Amino acid sequence: MNVSLASTSEYTVKAAESISDLSPNAADVLITSVVTAMVTELGVCSPTSAGLLTFHDGERNTQHTIDGYFISPNSFKKGSMEKHKITMTYGGHIETYAGANTFAIPGIYKILDFIYKNYSSLPLKNLLEFPIKISKDGFKITQPTKDYFIHSLKPLYMWHDESAEVLKPLEEDLENGVVKLIKLSETLAHLSDNDFDNFYYGDIANEVLKTIEDEGGHATKKDFETYEIIHDSKFEQYFKDLKITGHNGPSIGGLMVLKYLDALQGSSKQIENKLQDVYLYRKENLEFFGNRKDKVGKEIKNFNISPSTVQVNTSDTDNHHFSITFSSGYGSGVICKNTGMYLNNSLGEIELNPQGFLGETKGERLISNMSPLIINSKNGIVTIGSPGADRISSSLAQVINNYTKNNNWKISIDEPRYHVNMDGTSRSEPGVKVNIKNTTTTQANDMYFGGVCVTGYDSELFSHGDKRRGDANWKN
């Protein structure tokens, strides 16, 4: 069997290569790649990430979704509501909250557990061998992480004593510093001896929860033990001659991709206003807690399109295809001393919490822009997805729209991108083909515009990464 990989994490290629002599399938490569990214993509994601998965089952010829996104703790402890606001220059200007009280319950290990038990062909020890080794031996950070840490290392990751000690080599030399996560290596070895679900029930959960309690967080043992993934809340929509399968809600990302695709079909003279309207619609109609699943599902059901983190995609010659997007927010800056796991700050992401920091989010699935997709075309089946916060939907829509014109995924990914914000301002790469008036021109291939990854299988396997985020791709 042959497998292809496209990712925004450079070390995932080495992870895939480490098991290539064991005849892995797409699920095997996905698992080792996701865990490796959670080790090495510091700041971009962490071992307490959450995500969404869309996949094609080649044996059954069916397509499925799994929502393993963050869930808020069921209650917030009184006396533990202190706000630790961080301001960064990343993306122009970002405000977020840090600390253990920004931690939400992650679903990444529920997703990995499902993939492993239903689709993997190799023992867990083999799949975790590379991330265990690299976390113990140490690694230099990748370029996307360097770009992020230029803005975030000091304000977001050096205020916490344990984190400051771990990341001291980067404070001294961001370019060449080597990070060793020895405790994390031991934690991953423990998982490999048990299973991924041990994160929610066993010794790892106990240690993470102890750190959360000691440092003023809100998650409890019950929150961990009752976490559930959502199966097959999916949509299938046609755009020109492409059938697109994605998440139907409570994630809003899939719906936003469809809305951006619709907006891109209009006159180029009106495109700026139409894209601003899409952003405003999201803000005014979709960013709420409550029954978002029904709201998003109804929107997609009635949707007509005229004739939108870390991303890992894998495909194999048995026609299995996986697309997963996962994140830990901007990071809380807190590391669990005895597991080496950095905690997420999903509750602290201001732009995704419309009720405000520690507002009425108790027990809710948080708002996600993620949108991993499966696309059926006349040429075969492909996976596609991207990181990039609110640029996920606009980036995916532009690439998909490009593909309908040129029938070439690599060219479609490489085309210059742009993004219109809610206030009407925009950022664009040099050479965009639409007239954007009120724009800030970035460098070419700017990581601000995500990192669209594609894998697929038509007459042969293929994979395409994105220069904006590591351009990692591999085939065996």
Residue 249 CA to residue 234 CA, distance in Å, equals 8
Q: Which domains does the chain have, with CATH numbers?
A: 11-231+330-352 (no CATH), 234-310+370-470 (3.60.20)
Sheet arrangement for strand 472-475: 230-231, 62-68, 50-57, 321-327, 310-316, 3-7, 472-475
pLDDT, residue 250, reads 77
Asked if 1 and 318 count as a contact pair (C-beta separation under 8 A), the reply is yes
Over the stretch 201-241, which tens digit does the pLDDT of each residue have? 989 999 999 999 999 999 999 999 999 999 999 989 999 99
Residue 47 CA to residue 37 CA, distance in Å, equals 9
Which residue in the block uniquely carries the two structure tokens 């929860």?
209
Which residue in the block uniquely carries the two structure tokens 């996949």?
55
Over the stretch 31-81, which tens digit does the pLDDT of each residue have? 999 999 999 998 889 999 999 999 999 999 999 999 999 999 998 876 666
Name 305's Cβ contacts closer than 8 Å, sequence gap at least 6: 237, 238, 239, 258, 261, 262, 265
Residue 196 CA to residue 201 CA, distance in Å, equals 10
Residue 120 CA to residue 65 CA, distance in Å, equals 17
Return the minimum-mean-pLDDT range out of 20-34, 87-101, 377-391: 87-101
**What's the pLDDT band for 306 if we cut at 50, 70, 90?**
very low
Q: Is the predicted pLDDT of residue 303 greater than 50, yes or no?
A: no
Residue 248 CA to residue 124 CA, distance in Å, equals 31
Asked if 145 and 156 count as a contact pair (C-beta separation under 8 A), the reply is no
Q: What is the mean predicted confidence (pLDDT) over 84-106? A: 85
Kindly tell me the burial class for residue 265, based on how many C-beta atoms sit within 10 Å of its own C-beta (0-12, 13-18, 19 or more).
Answer: middle
Q: What is the mean predicted confidence (pLDDT) over 113-118? A: 98
334: left (phi over 0), alpha (psi -120 to 50) or beta: beta
